[in-house]
Structure 1
Amino acid sequence: MIKRMVLGLLGLIAAAVVGLLILAYRPAIDPIEPPSATTFSPALVAQGEVLAGAGYCATCHTAKGGAAYAGGYAMKTGFGTIYSTNITPDAATGIGRWSEEAFRRAMRQGVARDGSHLFPAFPYQHFNQVGDDDLKALYAYLMTREPVAAPPREPDIPFPLNRRVLQAGWKLLFFRNDAYGPITGGTPEWNRGAYLAEGLSHCSACHSPRNGLGAEKTGADERYAGAAIDDWYAPPLNAANRAPVAWTKDELFAYLRTGATALHGVAAGPMSPVVHDGLSKLPDADVMAIATYFADRFGAAGERAAPDAALAKVLAASAGGGGPVDHGANLYDAACASCHYNSGPMPLLVRPELGLNSALTAADPSSLIQVILHGVAVDEGLPGAMMPGFAQSLSDTDIAQLASWLRRSRTDQPPWPDLDRQVAVLRTQSESSRSTH
């Protein structure tokens, strides 16, 4: 009896393995001879450059200090670290021998030229919304980059999760061709913004929470509800956003175009390259289209950013109405007030008012802690402006008390719990990350 049960179980396991292999099978696409750069028209390559910016291709496929598009960028997931691949036209280690057909399949189905499945850290579930003409232009741009020999780095993911065959099961559960679009129904500008945001720009990949298997949550109240990303926090991009002054179309455009607005602060951390290395390639009309799309998601499409009661309250706190003085207040006066103090009816762009920043009103304090620890470099937020980091001069307790006082004095949001521990964790993780790059 036991022997029959064991044999039956082994038979079921064998059948499941065979079924998974059949489900996962994708044929290899024949390699090509690397095409000459003169194969592609300059206009097509120029269009591809803009699209590569919209998709942040260089950001994710360039390791710190490495050659552009040569891969090696580390992406932390709940299962381990995945490293981006070389997408230069190197014949041996890049995509030089990939045909346009192979490139299109990778973008839309998450399958490499050799038939292996790509990990969903590569957001093919968004890229499958990209039109044929745009994929052709993107292919032309990448195939005319300088070839770089850079072998792929294997993911630091434990067995058996590192087996690519299992991605077929993940796709069966979560991959839908229409999961993120196409979205239509608004004005031509709105539709253009939706196409960019949900396709190449894959905005929800960072700004939406994920389930236990790493898939984006797609419920109406979950998409764009905010999420932790690379030890930072990507705030909600919907009506759940807690910014005291509305994120209007004009405010969104200014932020995405320049990296800063007086009413919402500066782009830092993972958002900085999105603005300065990615969206900077897009024309104003495309950036405005994205702003139009998200203003609608914020529920502020028809609102106008103007001084109001919320702004007046924040500025009053900045002027000294922040409640009882404590150690956090003393730290602010000593380290922050000289740069962040605003006395007029409107805050100044070069003197960011912290009470208006999403980092302070967010449910997660990670972004605020990161900025206090490491500052904002001159090439991150507002071009030419910078903020020093205080990792060397303030202790974990100091930073926790400063963050707590700012939250209490500048917002009506509940206190963040266990700040000392969060500061210590982020400091350690940041130091570890810097030592490995």
Structure 2
Amino acid sequence: MTPGPRLLWGTGVAVVAVLAVAVALMWKPAIAPIGAPPVTSFDAQTKLAGARVVALGDCIVCHTAKGGQPFAGGLPLATPFGTIYATNITPDVETGIGNWSLEAFTRAVRHGVARDGHLLYPAFPYIHFTRMSDGDISAAYAYLMTREPVKATAPANELIFPLNFRPLLAFWNMLFLRPGPEAADASKDVQWNRGKLLVDGLGHCASCHSPLNPIGGEKSGHAFDGGIVDGREAPALNALSAAPKPWTQAQLVTYLRTGRASEHGAAAGPMLPVTRDLATVPEQDVQAIATYILSIQKPRPTDASPVASTSPSAQAQSGAVLFAASCAQCHGPQAPMQSIGERPTLALSTAVNASTPRNAIQMILGGIDWHGEDALNYMPAFAQVYNNRQIADLASYIRATYSQRGPWDDVEESVAKVRKENDAR
């Protein structure tokens, strides 16, 4: 039986309507280029405010390739869907944002649309930046437009089909983008509202510390429940009260500004450069961040209480030898580091007490780079020193010795998986 003319006509109209809506969503007009604004067109106070905004947004972290010029882009950002390369946001006219007007810059920040009209990938966290105030956006623009122009073109993105088809982002934006600033909560004080604005907006903390759904959006109802970034677990920010020693305001502020907290641990991986940026902003900003984060803590689950450790396994006993050879000098109970500089004991480490061994493995494999004269943490890497079995033995020993929680499962398999992920980046 063939469909009648009316059915065919109705189906055709529906298809045309859907296509029209799709085109309307996908198409964004270009904003005319401008001549690069002279540095003298921005006053010193606005540029100073912009430096604060850019530091709070961690812009230099994502937009600077290893060994590259600041803000010149090229950093590979690994996602579950392939690799996205950060763009050049210096005021170079040809390869950066030198010919972008404030209007074009604001549209990119608020709506994820580039000056020429193409849609930006949400690795650029515009779904959070959209909450920034007009003043903060203008200040960030002034600061970036007065940086040293660098001619640098980012490599082409390497995304799987069909996610490499940018127009599909229009539908993603329909699901996850809610443009514009949010009103302050009149029932809360100024510090809490400032903290919420920084955490949910400019700081885009949920981008890393929340699980993602199958299409790369933050999973609804699970904000701050923890995520995976650059092969490391970003801990749940709403479970800080469940740590072996619950986080306090003072400890959280110290950690965010120095990268180390005496009762918790040291920053590593993607979080380390964040703490370097936060060290440059006024302490009142970090106090506000800590106030808001501590206000979103979930009740401690009944099954989160420490579990009595079982006797060390043969694997952990083997790790004891490795620990004595490579770790005890800094982390052993008699090590000077334990009494100098308020270095945290491994018994309080977030990585050691985590539900999976991922972060402990990453710390052993990659350590923490040396930063010269900067007063930051350092730990040598052991990826080239020990094989997977030995790394697993060492992690199991540390877990059995320093945590009251049960042993991790399948540690050697986790080491192999993490090494493979690291090699692919």
Q: Deviations over 1:324-355 (max 9, x none)?
A: 771122322222122112369x9544543112
Structure 2 unaligned regions, length at least 5: 300-304
The one-letter code of the counterpart of 2:177 is F
Q: Give the aligned partner of residue 233 of structure 2.
A: 233
In the other structure, the counterpart of 1:26 is 28
* Equivalent position amino acid for 1:285 in 2: Q
Deviation (angstroms), 1:209: 0.5
**1:97 Cα shift?**
1.0
Provide the rounded CA distance (Å) in 2 between the counterparts of 1:82 and 1:252. Answer: 31
1:271 paired with 2:271, answer: yes
Q: Contact 1:322/1:410 (CA < 8 Å) preserved in 2?
A: no
Assess if the C-alpha contact under 8 Å between 1:88 and 1:145 holds in 2: yes
**Distance change in 2, residues 1:393/1:8 (3 Å):** farther
Q: What are the Cα deviations for residues 94-120 of structure 1, in whole angstroms up to 9, with x where unaligned?
A: 111111111111101111111211111
Measure how far apart 1:84 and its partner are: 1.0
**Cα distance in 2 between the residues matched to 1:184 and 1:56:** 28
8 A contact 1:225–1:240 mirrored in 2:
no
1:383 aligned to 2:375? yes
Partner of 1:406: 398
Task: Identify the residue that residue 286 of structure 2 maps to in structure 1.
Answer: 287
CA contact (8 A) 2:192 2:292 kept: yes
CA distance in structure 2 between the partners assigned to 1:340 and 1:350 by the alignment: 12
CA 1:181–1:361 in structure 2 vs 1: closer, same or farther (change >3 Å)?
Answer: farther
1:396 maps to 2:388: yes
Of stretches 6-15 and 376-385 in structure 1, the one that deviates more from structure 2 is 6-15
Q: Which residue of 2 aligns with 1:306?
A: none
Aligned equivalent of 1:365: 357
Give how far 1:270 is off: 0.5
Distance in 2 (CA, whole Å) between partners of 1:384 and 1:181 is 37
What's the TM-score, normalizing by structure 2?
A: 0.89
- State how far apart, in whole Å, the 1-side matches of 2:353 and 2:182 are: 28
**Residues of 1 paired with 2:372 and 2:350: CA distance?**
16
Q: Give the CA deviation at 1:183.
A: 5.4
Worse overlay, 230-239 or 323-332:
323-332
1:303 corresponds in structure 2 to none
Change (3 A) 1:266 1:157: same
Structure-2 change in CA distance of 1:369 and 1:45 (3 Å): same
Amino acid paired to 1:289 = A
For 1:251, the equivalent position in structure 2 comes to 251
> Per-residue displacement from partner, 1:64-105 (whole Å, max 9, x unpaired)?
111111111111111111111111111111111111111111
Identical amino acids, percent of aligned pairs = 43
The CA RMSD measured in Å over matched residues stands at 3.0
User: Do the aligned residues in 2 keep the contact of 1:257 with 1:279 (CA within 8 Å)?
Assistant: yes
Q: CA separation in 2, counterparts of 1:425 and 1:200?
A: 33
- Matched residue type, 2:331: H
Q: Match of 1:85?
A: 87
Partner of 2:166: 164
> CA 1:424/1:36 → structure 2, altered by over 3 Å: closer, same or farther?
same
Q: What secondary structure sits across from 1:149 in the alignment?
A: coil
- 8 Å Cα contact 1:260/1:381 also seen in 2: no
* 1:342 corresponds to which of 312, 325, 333: 333
Q: Secondary structure of 2:202's match?
A: coil
Report the CA distance shift for 1:183/1:279 in structure 2 as closer, same or farther (over 3 A): farther
Contact 2:320/2:397 (CA < 8 Å) preserved in 1?
Answer: yes
* Matching residue of 2:413: 421
Q: Which amino acid aligns with 1:167?
A: L
Structure 2 Cα separation of the partners of residues 64 and 10 of structure 1:
52
* 1-structure distance, mates of 2:207, 2:8: 43
CA drift at 1:357: 1.0
SS of structure 2 residue aligned to 1:389: coil
Unpaired segments ≥5 residues, structure 1 = 301-308
Mapped to 2, the partners of 1:388 and 1:254 lie a distance apart of 24
Q: For residues 270 and 186 of structure 2, what CA distance do their matches in structure 1 show?
A: 29
Contact in 2 for aligned 1:129/1:195 (Cα 8 Å) = yes
- 1:370 Cα shift? 1.0
Structure 1 counterpart SS, 2:352 = helix
Q: Which 4+ residue blocks in structure 1 deviate beyond 4 angstroms?
A: 1-15, 178-184, 321-325
TM-aligned CA distance change 1:233 to 1:2, over 3 Å: farther
Deviation, structure 1 residue 187:
2.2
Shift of 1:17: 3.5
